[in-house]
Amino acid sequence: MTREVQGLINKSKHAIKVAQGLLAQGYPSDSASKSYYAIFYAAQALLKSSKIDVVKHSAVESAVGYHFVKTGKIEQKYHRILLDARKLREIADYDIQEEIVRPEAAIKIEQAKDFLKLVQALVR
C-alpha cells in the first residue's frame, strides 16, 4: 500500500470520527456531510490503489462504477452508497429547505464505516 493510499484511508477514518462527534453534538447535517467525505476519501484510496488518478467528485463516482462495479470487484450497493452520500451532502451543505435528521445521519456513518472496511480489505 502506498503512502498516498494510506493517507486517504487515514483521512477517511478521521472523517468518520468527526461525523460521529458532530452527530453526538446535535449537528446531523454536518455529520452527514462529513460522512460523505469519509466515503469519498475511501473511494479515492480504492482508485489510487489501482493507479486510477481522478479528483473531481463526479469522476470518482464514475471511475468506481466503471472499474469496480462493472467488473464485479465490488457490489453495486457500495457504488449506491457513494452516490447517495453525495446527494445527501449536497442537501446538507446547500439546501435551505430540507434538513438532515439524526437517524439519516447515523445511517450514513454506518455506511461510511462499511465502505471503508471494504476498501481496506481490497487495498491490502
Given CATH 3.40.50.80, say whether it is the number of domain 3-123.
Answer: no
pLDDT tens profile 29-65: 999 999 999 999 999 999 999 999 998 999 999 999 9
| CA atoms within a 13 Å half-sphere pointing along the CA-CB vector of 124 | 6
Give the other-Cβ count within 10 Å of 74's Cβ.
Answer: 19
Q: What are the phi and psi torsion angles at 26 (to 5°)?
A: 95, 25
Per the model's pLDDT, the better-predicted residue between 55 and 82 turns out to be 82
Please tell me the predicted confidence (pLDDT) of residue 124. Answer: 87
CA distance 47 to 30: 26
